[in-house]
Chain A
Amino acid sequence: MIEAHGLTKDYGDKRAVDDLSFTVEPGVVTGFLGPNGSGKSTTMRLILGLDAPTAGSVTVNGKSYRDHAAPLHEAGSLLEARSVHTGRSAYNHLLALAQTHGIPRRRVNELIDLVGLHDVAKKRAGQFSLGMGQRLGIAAALLGDPQTVMLDEPVNGLDPEGIHWIRNLLKGLAAEGRTVFVSSHLMSEMALTADHLIVVGRGRLIADTSVDEFVSRASGNVVHVRSPQADDLAGLLAATGVTIVAVEPGLLAVTGLTAPQIGEAAAGRGIVLHELMPQQVSLEEAFMDLTRDDVEFRAGTAEHPTEAAA
């Protein structure tokens, strides 16, 4: 369980995290979603006590992370920035971390096998690919069999098999009753893995909701209808609470009616339909809509020349 209360962090005169309050519950996978630069990694460093908050507080399993007698048993973490000495082997890296808690060597070997680094365990970590580095970081996170697992962008650099593996791992950890907190800037990834979402933009909380709720809220109720008698159909469907937009000649975008309602109404008047398509706003688009104003770094466009220059 992770509980943040009014968490705020300034770097100089720049506010990276702004009055963030949320709770990450055990037993589910909670996605931490936001564009790059929205304060996700900073928030995770604050949770681990690597950076001190300017204001507010955050606890892990009821206590400030720093105050735990055995922190690796409480929370295991993978940070986005590499946290491995490039000259040390994967095995010795994990061993050095394990020794701080008296965790036996057997456990180190177990985890090396679990993440699939057996063949390269004695190789220097500096020679690892991005994906191998991620696997090593995940092994470090799970070393202490922690109650809370926190991973920053874990699928970065993983191949499809690795991504599949990580999804199952996270679900398994949550099923065992652990608290699982995973950040990503990819909505589609979170939709497949997470049960709950905490969405941030420019350091502020934008949404704290279940994935299902987020999806239904985002999808809207737009139905596209293609008909040679589009004008007649528009006249027929016009009513209060219904919006009809002519997308192009012969194609209407209808909001406020379901596809069956439209189809039945058309059949009743003998209007021919060529296409009847309920539109799902993609999660990616919904996420973009939600965070549009909160993206810090945006490519310059004709509409926003001043923002790009600022």
Chain B
Amino acid sequence: MSTATVVEKIPPLQVRGRVTQLRVALSEWTKLWSVRSTRWSLFAAFLFTIGVAALACAVVAHHYPHMSPHDKADFHPLEVNLAGVQLAQLAIGVLGVLIITAEYSTGMIRASFTAVPKRLPVLWAKVGVFGAVTFALMLPAVLVAFFVGQAILSRQHINTTFGAPHVARALVGAALYLTVVGLFGLGLGAIVRNTAGGIASFAAIMFVLPPLMNVLPASWNNAASPYLPLQAGEAILSTTPGGHLSPWVGLGLFAAYAAAAIVVAAVLLVRRDT
């Protein structure tokens, strides 16, 4: 305990800057990497993409000699190789939701919006940083998964190559697809502002809605289903051309869904009390 006459002084600050979009992005970069669960989710998505692909390829390579001619005809070496993306999308989507909802649940959002009271720069920075990190991480993951998976399949001489038709597009597309999945989750999270609600709405739209379409008359189902976010997005992964939506149109539609969610979130963000 000091004596009563000692008056605390805070050291003066020499440099005085202003808030810029780039600085807010740097702040979001720090936020992204300084939480353990975030690092783990990204690491898990990276490992799933490679590990599940290797596992799926190994299983198929092992069973291939015993497969029926019908199954052999259906088999495509890239499709099995992208099995890991199915699991990775869950980790990335949930992380997208969490990046914003965890700020609400912990109260961090009040600190964020006090530092940046115009608010929108925070949302743009989250979209930019999380999108860039996801793509930068998932592209090498998908490529490593491809070369590992094809090496395994090559033992049965059932592999494909990077130069084969559709392969390069599907691989780069897979990384882009995962990026859009993450941003869609981010948009939904920013609208709902609640972790449980955000993850539930993400899972409902992505994974529950498609099988639910089966209750519709077949003609309606067939007409509508390709335009759902998941189906549209997955067109970019297809190895057999001639789907309902072409690969890039499908991914574009999925990206439009994500963009719509983010725009709605932006409008609500500036209007709502925190």
Contact, CB under 8 Å: A101 / B117: no
CA distance A88 to B39 in the complex (A): 12
Nearest-neighbour CB distance to chain B for A306, whole angstroms, equals 33
Contact B9–A176 (Cβ < 8 Å): yes
Interface string of B138-149 (1 = CB under 8 A from A): 000000000000
Q: Is A72 an interface residue (CB 8 A)?
A: yes
Q: Given A85-B102, A85-B108, is A101 in contact with B18 using a C-beta cutoff of 8 Å?
A: yes
A5 within 8 A of B: no
A: number of interface residues (CB 8 Å): 55
Q: Are A71 and B114 in contact (CB under 8 A)?
A: yes
**Given the known A-B contacts A69-B19, A99-B27, A103-B17, are A83 and B111 also in contact in the complex, defined by CB atoms under 8 Å?**
yes
Contact A99 to B23, CB < 8 A, known contacts A49-B117, A79-B110: yes
**Nearest CB of chain B from residue A217's CB, rounded to whole Å:** 27
Closest chain A residue to B121, Cβ basis: A100
The answer to whether A96 touches B34, judged by C-beta atoms less than 8 angstroms apart, is yes
14 contacts between A and B (CB under 8 A): A65-B117, A70-B16, A71-B114, A77-B114, A83-B111, A85-B103, A96-B27, A101-B115, A103-B15, A145-B11, A161-B1, A169-B10, A172-B7, A172-B9
Task: Sort A-B residue pairs by CB-CB distance and give the 3 closest, nearest first.
Answer: A102-B17, A145-B13, A92-B34
Give bound CA distance, A104 to B36, whole Å.
24
B32 and chain A: residue at smallest CB distance: A96
Verify B37–A70 contact, CB threshold 8 A. Answer: no
- The CA-CA distance from A168 to B17 in the complex, in Å, is 29
Binary A-proximity of B41-67 (CB < 8 A = 1, otherwise 0): 000000000000000000000000000
User: Which of B11, B28, B106, B113 sits near A114, CB closer than 8 Å?
Assistant: B11
**B103: which A residues are within 8 A, CB to CB?**
85
Besides the known contacts A100-B23, A169-B7, A172-B8, 13 further A-B residue pairs in the complex with CB atoms under 8 A apart: A71-B115, A71-B116, A79-B114, A84-B107, A84-B111, A95-B30, A100-B24, A100-B115, A101-B23, A145-B10, A169-B8, A172-B7, A175-B7
B34 touches A81 (CB 8 A): no
Contact of B114 among A48, A89, A172 (CB under 8 A): A48
In the assembled complex, A86 has its CB within 8 A of some CB on chain B: yes
Chain B interface size band reads 35 or more
Chain A, residue nearest B28 (CB): A96
Evaluate whether A114 and B110 lie within 8 angstroms (CB atoms) in the complex, with A70-B18, A95-B30 already known: no
Q: Assess the B110–A89 pair: CB atoms within 8 A.
A: no
Say yes or no for A292: interface residue by CB 8 A criterion. Answer: no
Whole-angstrom distance from the CB of B94 to the nearest CB of chain A?
A: 15
A66 within 8 A of B: yes
Q: Smallest Cβ distance from B274 to chain A, in angstroms?
A: 4
Interface centre among A49, A77, A114, A161 (most CB of B within 10 A): A49
What distance in Å separates the Cβ of B40 from its nearest Cβ neighbour in chain A? 11
Q: Are A164 and B13 in contact (CB under 8 A)?
A: no
Contact check, A100 vs B107: say whether CB atoms are below 8 A apart: no
